[in-house]
Structure 1
Amino acid sequence: MGKNFQHGFLDYPVYAFSENYPHGHVEDWHHHDRIQMIHTLSGVIRIQTDEGIWITPPGRGVWIPANKPHALLSSGGVKARGVFISPCARENLVNECRVIAIPALLRELMSSAMEIQTAIQPNSRNQRLLEMILDEIELLPTLAFNLPEPQSQKLKLLCQEVKANLSINWNLEDTADYLHMSSKTLARHFQKETGLHFSHWVRQAKLMQAMIDLAMNKPILNVALELGYDSPSAFSAMFKRETGMTPSGYACQFPTTQ
């Protein structure tokens, strides 16, 4: 766990927690016997599973199924709160990782649930509060801040190389030639294994690295050039289109590191 971990009353199908992660905090592969939903108030959390990577910017949340092995990396100094949920608390709870929007009502409900420190009495306000959290969770919209991982070794190695060299122009035709296959074959296999077109996956990889770099207070010009954009304006247009925020507006959420 990170620093300053606190929680509400534990003996119920859902309970709230809060936690601070210092910049650069790492949690190696582990899992929980409950579903974990983490809401970031500040900083960025990077969650990795066998299926891919999920990035949670400020104001969003990440959903991690029960018993799902995952690793965690924090950037920018993270303040988080969230809930642990029994997999049996409701029917049809999502059983895959995803980044989610966190509406204002759910934020306030989780904050109130943190104050519960006594046993939950039937038909009490506290029970209704916790059940309302479950009601709201069933309605959460999914956001596209994830990077799915292919399953074949050849495409896994390709994706690792792309992530290590994001300044390169990874277009489909040249990449297919590099792999000694046709562009149609690469496009078909990549779509089948990741659910994304190759160009979309590369754009997502750049976006997610940008979110981490900006949280670490890297200058926007440097981030743009390191990700292969010809100009800060081209990078800014992509970033705003994908996140709804300008890079400078996003970066202002993070305190300057010393």
Structure 2
Amino acid sequence: MGKNFKHGFLDYPVYAFSENYPHGHMEDWHSHDRIQLIHTLTGVIRIQTHEGIWIIPPGRGAWIPAQKKHALLSSGDVKARGVFIEAIADTDLINQCRVVAIPALLRELMSSAMQIQTTIQPNTRNERLLQLILDEVRILPALAFNLPDPQNPRLQQLCLNIKSHLDLNWNLEDTAQQLHISSKTLARHFQRETGLHFSHWVRQAKLMQAMIDLAMKKPVLNVAIDLGYDSPSAFSAMFKRELGMTPSDYLNQFQENE
């Protein structure tokens, strides 16, 4: 756990929690008996599963199924809130990791649930509040803030190389030549293993690193150069196209959520 972990009343299928993580805080592979929805107010959380990487910037959340093995790394000083939900609390809850938007109503519901410190009585405001949380988490919009990992060892090594050298121009044809295969073969295998086109995966890797770097207050110019863009404007255009907001709009969220 991080620092200053607090929670609402535990003896119920749903309970809220808050937690602070200092910059660089790491949690090794672990799992929870309950579903975890963790929502960041400040900072960025990087969650690793055996399927890939999930990045949670301010104002977003991560849905982690019960018993799902995952590791955690915080960038910046992270303030987080969330809920733990019994896996049997509702059978129609999703059973896959995903990054989700956190509407204002759910954010306030989790904040209110943090104040519950007594047994939940039937047909009371507290019970209705927690049941409303269950209603809200069913309809959370999923966001494409994940980077799926291939299972093929050769493609795994390729993806590690790409993530280690994001400043390079990773085009399909040149990369296929390095692997001594045709570009069609690489494209087909990469799509099958990750569900993404090769160029989309590379772009997503750069975007997710940018989200972490910007959270660490690295200047936009430096982020653009480190990710291989010719200019800050080219980087900003990609960022806005993928996220629907400029780097400046993204950075403003950090102040809004503090």
Same fold (TM over 0.5): yes
User: Which residue does the alignment assign to 1:109?
Assistant: 109
Q: Secondary structure at the match of 1:239?
A: helix
Q: Equivalent pairs: percent with the same residue? A: 78
User: Which residue does the alignment assign to 1:22?
Assistant: 22
Per-residue deviation, 1:242: 1.5
Write the letter of the residue equivalent to 1:55.
Answer: I
User: What is the CA–CA distance in structure 2 between the aligned matches of 1:99 and 1:57, rounded to whole Å?
Assistant: 10
Deviation sequence 1:42-70 (CA, Å, 0-9, x none): 11000001100000010000011111111
Per-residue deviation, 1:252: 4.2
User: Structure 2 length normalisation: TM-score?
Assistant: 0.97
Per-residue deviation, 1:254: 4.7
Please give the residue correspondences for 1:120-159 in structure 2 after superposition, counting only pairs within 5 Å.
Answer: 120-159=120-159
Q: Secondary structure at the match of 2:229?
A: coil
User: What is the CA–CA distance in structure 2 between the aligned matches of 1:224 and 1:178, rounded to whole Å?
Assistant: 25
CA contact (8 A) 1:7 1:15 kept: yes
User: What is the CA–CA distance in structure 2 between the aligned matches of 1:252 and 1:21, rounded to whole Å?
Assistant: 21
Residue 95, structure 1, aligned to residue 95, structure 2: yes
User: Which residue does the alignment assign to 1:7?
Assistant: 7
Per-residue deviation, 1:244: 2.2
User: What is the CA–CA distance in structure 2 between the aligned matches of 1:23 and 1:174, rounded to whole Å?
Assistant: 37
Per-residue deviation, 1:92: 2.2
Q: Give the superposed CA RMSD.
A: 1.0
User: What is the CA–CA distance in structure 2 between the aligned matches of 1:230 and 1:85, rounded to whole Å?
Assistant: 46
User: Structure 1 length normalisation: TM-score?
Assistant: 0.97
CA contact (8 A) 2:59 2:253 kept: no
CA contact (8 A) 2:41 2:254 kept: no
CA contact (8 A) 1:76 1:254 kept: no
Please give the residue correspondences for 1:77-226 in structure 2 after superposition, counting only pairs within 5 Å.
Answer: 77-226=77-226
Distance 1:245 1:162, change over 3 A: same
User: Which residue does the alignment assign to 1:246?
Assistant: 246
Write the letter of the residue equivalent to 2:235.
Answer: F
Farther-moved stretch of structure 1 (242-251 vs 28-37): 242-251
User: What is the CA–CA distance in structure 2 between the aligned matches of 1:247 and 1:24, rounded to whole Å?
Assistant: 22
User: Which residue does the alignment assign to 1:49?
Assistant: 49
CA contact (8 A) 1:40 1:81 kept: yes
